[in-house]
Amino acid sequence: MKFPVTVTADGMPLRWSRTAASSLASDVRRFALRHWSLAAALAITFIVHAPTLRYFFNGDDLVVAGSVRYSGTGGYLLDTLLMRDIVPSWRPLTGLVYAAEWNLFGLNAAGWRAVNLGFHLAALAMLYVLVARVTRRPAVGAIAALIFGVSGAHFDTVTYITALPHVMATFFVLASLLAIVAYAQDGERNASAFWHSFALFALAFLSNEGSFVYAPVVVLAYLLYARRWRAAPLRLVLHAAPFVALAAGWLSFYESCSCQQLKFEGYYWGPHVFTNYAVYLSWIAYPVRHVPLTPDALRWALAALVAGGAALMAARGPHLARVAVLGLVLAILPFAPVKIWTASRYTYSAVAFFAPLAAIAAYAAYDRVRTSRRWLRVPATAAGLLLVAAVASLYGWQTYAQDSRSGREADRWQLLVNELRRNYEQVPPGTTIWIVDGPWTNPMWNYAWVPSAARVAYGDAAAFDLARADYAADPPSTDRALFLEWTPDGLRPIAAPQVLAHE
């Protein structure tokens, strides 16, 4: 009798037999041949986003890094949990990752950005497995994964450090959906798959509290793919209960809480919600230039086209399309009430649900043409591949171009941190550094970003950049203060009297 592994008397493996090695190689080869399109989608996505790994922190990234250095790991995590930090929202799992990143990478932004990209690639793979499993067509999964991977709709999200909550949460939501679908399709025999689904949903919520809105999506997936609840409706109630309880509990807390950490001026329900839906639905399909604050005629038309297509897919499409339509609508819901700005990160999760809709529709059209005439099979396949390549290229180009702009904006923050550290290797705790006429005088930046640059550099310190006239109008205290003046050669120290006595 031949055994695949030769072992010692103690049962420790010594070497694999040739038969076992050959069998493993054959399995790997079959998997690679069947799922080569996943590898291609991962490679293309990595190539599109890899240039961003060389960028420094952006302004709001410094708030996170500076908070961890200032408070220390334990203090930062406690502040995050109790909502006492200056980073808005409540995202304890993301805070844990931030703390780990600071301890691992410090001011090496490439490490932080690589974590984001890793979660994005993992979410891409999860989407592929989910779509391929449900449709039983790896090609549909690959198209969905590629659209999601390179979409210009989330150009400034995939490796943007403080967009990590959106990237992490989307990965966990897709994993939760995959687990619940596997549980339902396997006849509900494996209870651990169900609880894995709920645990992954909870992790999504702890990554980004807005993820509580996906509870109906997971429940709908169970309702559509499971069968046993039809004979015993109570099963549907019991399976929905954990997800509904988490979502309802958080919503109740949010409504009753006056926490400024969670609620801010400019976030409310009103007519602008419909306008924002039009902006985001059109932006997902046509991510060109900046995300507009209000839609023009073209974007209204595109939004209507996307909404109409989604409604048609929900009515006549497969179950996955119905799940994706609900996911698309709910993904935008937490961000639609924001009136004072729009952001590409708000559509990140929505693209994960838009991509399967686009892939299912595109493959259905291709399949209809391909099977209508035998002689059309080759031309239809060639045309389909060209279309996928064209869409991926256009999306990838927009992503690269937009990311490049974001990288140029990060240069100003690298300059600030470098100039601070060049002038002062260390400063006494509690020091305030006053910058005169630097390129960071924007009032919004001086609210948190410029002060956080000093925290990143020194820990217990703050910095502000004001025009020289502002110092004469309202002189700051010189107690534990340092002054730096902007010159063509960068920042240089200047005596306080030279600043405060200026007319």
Mean pLDDT (whole number) for 356-368: 93
Lowest mean pLDDT among 403-407, 480-484, 490-494: 403-407
Paired with 267 in beta bridges are 338
14 pLDDT band, cuts 50/70/90, is: very low
| pLDDT over threshold 90, residue 472 | no
In this structure, the number of other CB atoms found within 10 A of the CB of residue 455 comes to 22
pLDDT digits (tens, 9 = 90+) for 169-183: 999 999 999 999 999
Percent of the chain with pLDDT over 90: 73
* Model pLDDT for residues 115-169, shown as the tens digit of each residue: 999 999 999 999 999 999 999 999 999 999 999 999 999 888 999 999 999 999 9
Q: What is the pTM of this model?
A: 0.91
Residue 226: per-residue pLDDT: 96
- How confident is residue 2, by pLDDT bands cut at 50, 70 and 90? very low
Please write the tens of the pLDDT for every residue from 291-300. 999 999 999 9
- Does 6 have pLDDT greater than 60? no
Whole-number average pLDDT of the chain: 90
pLDDT of residue 28: 61
Q: Beta 431-436 vs 5-7: how paired, if at all?
A: unpaired
Cα 67 to Cα 62: distance, rounded to the nearest angstrom? 8
Confidence at residue 23, expressed as pLDDT on a 0 to 100 scale: 61
Contact (Cβ atoms closer than 8 angstroms) between residue 170 and residue 352: yes
Residue 475 binned pLDDT confidence (cut-offs 50, 70, 90):
confident
Taking alpha carbons only, the member of 119, 149, 147, 145 closest to residue 131 is: 145
Whether the CB-CB separation of 176 and 201 falls below 8 Å is answered with yes
- pLDDT, position 410: 92
Q: What's the confidence (pLDDT) of residue 32?
A: 66
Task: Using the predicted structure, report yes or no on whether residue 380 has a pLDDT greater than 70.
Answer: yes
Question: What is the per-residue pLDDT across 412-469, written as a single tens digit (0 to 9) for each?
Answer: 999 999 999 999 999 999 999 999 999 999 999 999 999 999 999 999 999 999 998 8
Interatomic CA distance for residues 393 and 70, integer angstroms = 43
435 DSSP β-pair partners: 465, 484
Q: Which helix (H) or strand (E) holds 280?
A: helix 272-285
Residue 146's contacts (CB-CB under 8 Å, 6 or more residues apart) are: 40, 41, 44, 45, 388, 392
Q: What is the pLDDT of residue 265?
A: 78
Arithmetic mean of pLDDT, 173-201: 96
Which residues on adjacent β-strands are paired with residue 486? 491
